[in-house]
Amino acid sequence: MNIDDAKARIRAALKDAMKARDAERLSLWREVLGALDNAEAPALSTSGLTPSSSSIAGAVEGVGAGEIARLVLSAADVSALIAREAQERRTAATSYAELGRVDEAAVLTRQASALEALFASM
């Protein structure tokens, strides 16, 4: 599954969560979309842009001169990111349960399960 397919699937789930007023899943899908967007962001040090504006600090001159292509994630990258997001939630749920915060642990466990269910066919 490529990044566009993953985002489309998450956006559809986000829309369903909004309609259902499901705050837990709404939060989950927004966080995962953010994680995917962050993974696509190039490192600032590799941008190759040199500030050239005399009126705005750190700016570059010219239309579109400050645009940087986003990174292209492979299907393996997307799968690894989704698995990592689910694992982080399961790890945090275990920590919360050990601290006696079972409600928060249950929320995180449900979120991890929803994430894994959405991408089970990958």
- Token pair belonging to 105: 């642990």
113-to-2, 6, 47, 54, 77 alpha-carbon distances in Å: 21, 16, 37, 52, 20
Q: What's the pLDDT tens digit per position in 22-80?
A: 999 999 999 999 999 999 988 766 555 555 555 555 555 555 555 677 888 999 999 99
Of all residues in the chain, the percent with pLDDT exceeding 70 is 79
SS3 content of the chain, % helix, strand, coil (to 5): 65, 0, 35
pLDDT of residue 51: 52
